[in-house]
Amino acid sequence: MITNVTDKIKYIGVDDLDIDLFESQYVVPNGVSYNSYLILDDKVAIMDTVDSRKSDEWLDNLDRALEGRKPDYLVVQHLEPDHAGTIDRVMARYPAMQVVASERAVRMLPQFFYDVDFEGRTIAVKEGGTLSLGGRTLHFVMAPMVHWPEVMVTYDDKDKVLFSADGFGKFGALSHDEEWACEARRYYFNICGKYGGPVQTLLKKAAALDIAIICPLHGPILTENLDYYIGLYDTWSRYDIESEGVFVAYASIHGNTAEVARRFADILRAKGAVKVTVADLSRDDMAEAVEDAFRYGKLVVAAASYDSDVFPPMHDFLYHLAIKGYCKRRIGIIENGSWAPSAGRAMRNIIDRFKDVSVIEDVVTIVSRLKPSDIPALERLADEMLAEKCDRCVE
Ligand code: FEO
């Protein structure tokens, strides 16, 4: 697909609608786009390539968009293969073209392309580095760990475009018109969630730029209401709470813990919870569960005991939260066990790795099945979860 971003900037990226799992782990029911752009000024610059899965289609787009011209530069903002997978083929096609990338990226290029001769073909840029294309200058802003260490973003001072690498990206092919926030949030917390600090650093640098258009490497080009998108990124990267609500995540073997979780959710609703979301960690999308854990300020985990530990889907979920830097939330624990309940202790062992969380000390223990005598303990846990209103929520 080729579209005009501005008079001199064309979108030349591709949709991937036949990928089974993005990064071999994320379901993408509406596919994903690998964005790439072409700047046709006095000099011609390509802004990133695409995943090798779609090289042919992208090279065809590039060829048509060039309209007989030849690229002078390939700007590589991010070396992850979903964007860098066609560097070798485009370099071979245009032998005079130079690759412009951060110093770290230039050092890393041979790791991915050991059989490409980069001698004399790279320009390493630093923070504040520039590249004149004639009618405009590209300004390079280093963005390490937004998502990888070699990442940089690029500002076009003529059209006021920020090429934002993975930042402001989302799952979903461009052929699917859908709300931005849902899939952008799932993308953010699962891909960049651990790197809130580096994202904050980048947002502070971006605040000094006059930005009219954001061109990310996934998802739609953002041209309006930029404060909305930047505001959400600010909330997410500060690990602030976006929405008032309680997320109840359960891992149940035979359905008994599921019954407890659903009853607990009903109790929360009856007590006036603004929003209660429930996830079955054995069946629902893990990436969406991670997203919801970050979105809301309160999390209740309910799990069966298993092999003197916790049922693995819950272990997997809490492990995901731990490596993504989960923090600043209120957490309640429900365990189920028929002879030697161990899930509560096992969950707490992982939760203790989270920073700045307040954990309700009284674990609710269910023995095999929910009984009327368990309801008062669930009521008390619900009261504790709802005791504090969120004063940091965006909505
Ligand atoms: Fe879209 Fe970090 O690659």
* Structural domain range at position 147: 3-237
CATH no. for residue 9?
3.60.15.10
What integer pLDDT is reported at residue 392 of this predicted model?
63
Q: Say yes or no: 231 and 251 in one domain.
A: no
Going from the Cα of 148 to the center of ligand 1, the distance in angstroms, rounded, reads: 8
Tell me how far the alpha carbon of residue 326 lies from the centroid of ligand 1, in angstroms: 21
Q: For the segment 292-321, what is each residue's pLDDT rounded down to a tens digit?
A: 999 999 999 999 999 999 999 999 999 999
Q: Are residues 225 and 110 in the same domain?
A: yes
CATH code, 307: 3.40.50.360
Residue (of 190, 223, 174, 230) closest to 50 by Cα position? 174
Kindly state whether residues 211 and 257 are assigned to the same domain: no
Sorted by sequence, the CB contacts under 8 Å of residue 361 that are 6+ apart come out as none
395 domain-assigned:
no
Q: Does the residue 168 lie in any domain?
A: yes
Same domain, 232 and 306: no
Q: Which atom of ligand 1 is nearest to the CA of 148?
A: 2
Together in a domain, 223 and 284 = no
Residue 394 located in a structural domain: no
Within 6 Å (CB) of ligand 1, which residues are found?
78, 80, 82-83, 147-148, 166, 217-218
Q: How far is the CA of 217 from the centre of ligand 1 (A)?
A: 8
At residue 143, the pLDDT reads 98
**Amino acid in position 204:** K
CA of 270 to the centre of ligand 1 (A): 42
Q: Are residues 262 and 377 in the same domain?
A: yes
**Span from the CA of 166 to the centroid of ligand 1 (angstroms):** 5
283 occurs within a structural domain: yes
| Structure-token pair, residue 114 | 């050991």
Asked if 177 and 270 sit in the same domain, the reply is no
DSSP structure string for 312-366:
HHHHHHHHHHHHTT-BS-EEEEEEE-SSS--HHHHHHHHHTTSBS-EE-S--EEE
Tell whether 120 and 195 lie within a shared domain: yes
pLDDT for 395: 66
Which atom of ligand 1 lies closest to the CA of 169? Answer: 1
Residues 264 and 379 reside in one and the same domain: yes
> What count of Cα atoms within 13 Å lies in the side-chain half-sphere of residue 176?
19
Q: Which of 214, 237, 260 is the last residue of a domain?
A: 237
Judge contact between 293 and 329, C-beta under 8 A: yes
Considering its fold, how many domains does the chain have in total? 2
- The residue nearest atom 3 of ligand 1, judged by CA position, is 80
Closest ligand 1 atom, residue 166 Cα: 1
pLDDT of residue 391: 66
| pLDDT, mean of each 10-residue run, the chain (395 residues) | 96 97 98 98 98 98 98 98 98 98 98 97 98 98 97 98 98 96 98 97 98 98 98 98 97 98 98 97 98 98 98 98 97 97 98 97 98 98 90 67
Over the stretch 339-358, which tens digit does the pLDDT of each residue have?
999 999 999 999 999 999 99
Domain boundary pick from 237, 261, 284? 237
- Whether residues 332 and 185 share a domain: the answer is no
Q: Which residue stretches of the chain are H helix? A: 55-66, 81-84, 87-93, 103-112, 180-187, 196-206, 226-237, 256-270, 286-295, 312-323, 343-351, 375-386
